[in-house]
Structure 1
Amino acid sequence: MSATGSRSTSAPADGLERPVPETLDADRIHTARRDLDLFGLRAMQRVLRPVLDSETFRTDEEIAAALEFAPRHRWLLRQWLLALTENGCLDHDPERGHRYRAEVPAPSRDDLSEVCADLGYAREFATFLSGSADRLLDLAQDRLRVQELLFPNGDMVTADTFYRDNLGSRYLNSAAREAVAEVVGRLRPDCAAVRILELGAGVGGLTSEVVAGLAGEPVDYHFTDLSAFFLNAARKRFADVPGMRFGIVDMNADLPRQPRCDIVLASNVLHNAQHIGQTLRQLHDLLEPGGAVIFLEFCRAHCLMLTSVHFLMSPRAGGIRAGETDVRAGTDRIFLTEDEWLGQLTASGLTPRPALPAADHPLAVLDQKVFVAVRDQRE
């Protein structure tokens, strides 16, 4: 639908869905989303084209060897091959491998920064995406780390526009803020201070929104990450926030040792769980009865992200990639689908609410969701 006027979407049971703003152009968002995929597919094809032709099938292993793909990134190569095949640009034979079929169509616009702007991304993020595409083979061969492009000279501006300053993130962070406020309001009469644990808080995009929504509320907010780099930045950014403390927590190793809490927050981090079912069960046990886990996740990989930020998701050399032994096993997928998330939350003993945005919302095409799941008050 083209948002030429404001309309209401059907509100889920928790009542968090809001009217679509008049300024939100659904057709333009959909076109930009498709164009970003085409930019990503074209970047993949530029790297693969020298070793693929229309006559000879080559196996994944042969392609990886010819391109000197780093072993830890070869899951990304398989995702590229799958994406190009699904979009009609490669032929695939289960036994013989892949061969070239057709060129990736051109996006509707040549200027990546204009396309990014339609989704609310600043020019710095478009520069990062273009730089990743230009250096894609170097990234694949581990001659360049994507962090060098995403955090140039330690600067967080590019990361901020990806995790906070864009249409999708603003919507999701705002919805998460409302969900946190609802849980805090429900629990507040029974506790002096609501205890919040944020996992993988990173640049603090979700943190900023949640903290703004809790102004005046007594909370014990534990901002955690795996990286001292992010913690040091957060200590400065949130120095004036009462009740906030900082620490390193590895969700794949440290959850059983964490104190009980009322709310667990996570923004684009739970997909890094080595076994998502185990992690969600640990989060269930970490929550007090009536508490909630509130998290943001992509539910589908985007092609341009497969050529850029997804390099962050490769394991260290010799390490285990997330999802190899859980519901994602055998797929090379990092992200769970919406139905998989809801199923895994239920299996862990939590009660999920309807995910947002709803399917008829213009931002649903961005494949990002906010999930809320509650531990039963009677446990």
Structure 2
Amino acid sequence: MSFSFLTPISDAVLAHSELLSQQALGKKIRVHSKQHGFPDLEGVQMAIIGVHENRNDVNYMGEIVAFDSIRTSLYSLFPGNWYTTMADLGDILPGESVEDTYFALRTTIGSLLEKQIIPIILGGSQDLTYANYRAYDTIAPMINIVNVDSNFDLGDASLPIKNNSFLGKIILEEPFNLFNYSAVGYQTYFNSQEEIDLMEKLYFEAYRLGEVSNSISLVEPVMRDAHIVSVDLKSVKASELSSSQRYSPNGLDGKEICAVARYAGISNKVSSFGIYEFKPSREDGVTAMLVAQMIWYFIEGVNCRVKDDDFKNDANYQKYNVLIEGDELIFFKSIKTGRWWIEIPFLPNVNNKLKKHTLLPCMYEDYVEATQGKIPERWYKAYKKNSF
């Protein structure tokens, strides 16, 4: 287990924490400090890591990344009725090269995943998601990524990796561990038609900003199937953020991005959560406070996790069979939580990634549409993906 890449939290943050109420979150988090060293991770379920790396930002102008303002905001919040134990492990400083930083992050996340601790990553540029993904190489054979972003970040994989093209590297570089990629809150005018067509061709999922804003609950089944969740702060509308952070007049509002973070936390599968493209601002702390609240809602979600996907016991669920155009769609509803799944059949004659029937999270609305003769789009894409 290697945590040697992590540097302690700044004295300024710890001094501020000393002044907080005994009930504040800052008093309940195990911290990596110069004075007391690295915290004991026994019993810890989640750990915060800051990564001071933004050199692969396409607009990089030598800015320095820091997360003191986020920590100060987060520590000042009060915890919910939580049972989980948190740690803040400090920061990974920029390496000699960006690849060195990737290696440090990949190694650190890998060590946390082996201990079944969920890393909460505070990042500079979003290409750090690539290092997060590579940490799973020896841990899980197939990975689902959800990117909450205004852009798909596919880019040109033949060019050096950047924060707007890291996904191309993930798709095309061995080992090929990516099973599904979902983009949440994308804005069409920020994405080329070629990228939109490629998303369709690969049967990846994409949810436009309008869809998400009209019904935030559609994010829940997407998150329920994710292992890695990567949030780009450019997905948040300008009016919610500090001036240095503003990107687009349209985007998710503060309440919506916190709901998205909570859905990520509730998912039993999500094992790493990253928030990227943070740009510190002296002028006000509104972005730092929004990020702190996103982390708060993610932790809240983890504390609300319910194991409801044990389908070996018939008493745990109700089963519904729907016939559409010669296909039999099989739905399952958890009696404990009321959440829904749809079965993707295993195709024995195809050399696919599934070796058994797999259950795909869905919504009640998908079942209703199926009874009206409409095949759910998520099922169709997953089925086609497994026909390769």
Which one has the bigger strand percentage? 2
Higher relative contact order (CA 8 A, sep 6+): 1
Q: TM-score, normalised by structure 1?
A: 0.34
Which one has the bigger helix percentage? 1
Q: TM-score, normalised by structure 2?
A: 0.33
